[in-house]
Structure 1
Amino acid sequence: MNEVDITTHPDRRLAAVAHSGPYDQIGPAYDTLSTLAEARNLVPEVKSMIGIFYDDPDSTPAAELRSHAAFEVGPETPIDAPLEQIELHGGKVAVYRLKGPYSGLKAVYHYLYGTWLPDSGEEPQDAPSYEIYRNMPGNTAPEDLITDICIPLA
């Protein structure tokens, strides 16, 4: 596994679409988010694409998993329904950079929560994990995708 970096992230203001169900089926929520962003001319305001994941898929039934597909936007960007505004609080974060297909995400989470976190001396914050997508699957080969998996720390 790659190194885990501990860094400080800023607060982020997100325009988001909720998703319920298996995390690997969040794609349609991103499609809705993209369609709304284009229709509302928000694309120039988008700073990054982020996924927020609230539940442990190993202990929560797949149908009950909760997540948000989101774009980071500036403080002046209007966020109107059906988009939701989410404030992603910054602070100390453990970051693992995955290079490769999204199918590798589950193994990274198992490593982070099962091995790295217990051995690190760090405590997780009572906040959801999130992913920052550094490039897009529509124009990037799966083996070249870059995803930062982020765990907020106390």
Structure 2
Amino acid sequence: MTMREVVIRYVEPIEVLSVDHVGPYMQISKAFDALFGWLAQHNLLAAEMRMIGIFFDDPDVVDENALRSKAGVSLPHPLQVAVTVSPPVSVAHVKGGEYAVLRHKGPYSDLPAAYEWLYGTWLVQSGREAADAPVLEEYLNSPKETAPADLVTEICLPLV
């Protein structure tokens, strides 16, 4: 059995450069590829960038081909004035507040089970309530440099 622990953390508001994705959540890597291509073209790649996925829909309710998400990065410095954000990139704003944070280690294909536990077990037993805001995933390492079993993802569930 997988051991899971949730930490309640205050998350500061975040400004994110993002690319929209519609379709199966497991295919968001296409949007990340487009985002990183744009960042490279504008000389904005930085080692300190935080990679963030923003997920708007419940895959148990919305058809997987209609799921809405954003592939994003939070830059370590304010966006340079000389750079104009242009399609397919836009600026998204993530609200600050209390989040239930579940650290998941393992392949992205195991994330649905982590979500099931977070919503179906932890949230039900916690006495807390999910806010009407998107869930975030922060990717703490890269699938291009890390074996799937060693990937670390923080699932951040906004709370009321």
Q: Deviations over 1:5-60 (max 9, x none)?
A: 11111111100000000000111111000100000011128520000000000111
TM, length-normalised to structure 1 = 0.95
When residues 120 and 141 of structure 1 are mapped into structure 2, their CA distance, relative to the original with a 3 A threshold, is same
Moved over 4 A (4+): none
1: distance between equivalents of 2:71 and 2:152?
Answer: 17
5 Å matches for 1:75-90? 75-77=78-80, 78=83, 80-82=85-87, 83-90=89-96
Q: CA deviation at 1:91?
A: 1.0
Q: Which consecutive unaligned segments of at least 5 residues does structure 2 have?
A: none
What residue number does 2:154 align with? Answer: 148
Tell whether the 8 Å contact from 1:15 to 1:79 is kept in structure 2 after alignment.
Answer: no
What residue number does 1:93 align with? Answer: 99
What residue number does 1:63 align with? Answer: 65
2:132 corresponds, among 126, 138, 144, to 126
2: distance between equivalents of 1:45 and 1:105?
Answer: 25
1: distance between equivalents of 2:16 and 2:48?
Answer: 9
What residue number does 1:117 align with? Answer: 123
What residue number does 1:19 align with? Answer: 21
Q: Which consecutive unaligned segments of at least 5 residues does structure 1 have?
A: none
Aligned residue for 1:43, secondary structure, equals coil
Alignment identity in percent?
45
TM, length-normalised to structure 2 = 0.92
Give, as a single letter, the amino acid of the residue that structure 1 aligns with 2:78: P
2: distance between equivalents of 1:102 and 1:27?
Answer: 11
Deviation larger for 49-58 or 36-45: 36-45
Give the number of equivalent residue pairs. 154
Aligned residue for 1:122, secondary structure, equals coil
Aligned residue for 1:56, secondary structure, equals coil
Q: Deviations over 1:92-135 (max 9, x none)?
A: 00000001110110001111111111110111111000100000
2: distance between equivalents of 1:116 and 1:17?
Answer: 31
1:136 corresponds, among 130, 142, 147, to 142
Asked if 1:106 corresponds to 2:109, the answer is: no
2: distance between equivalents of 1:47 and 1:92?
Answer: 22
Tell whether the 8 Å contact from 1:46 to 1:71 is kept in structure 2 after alignment.
Answer: no
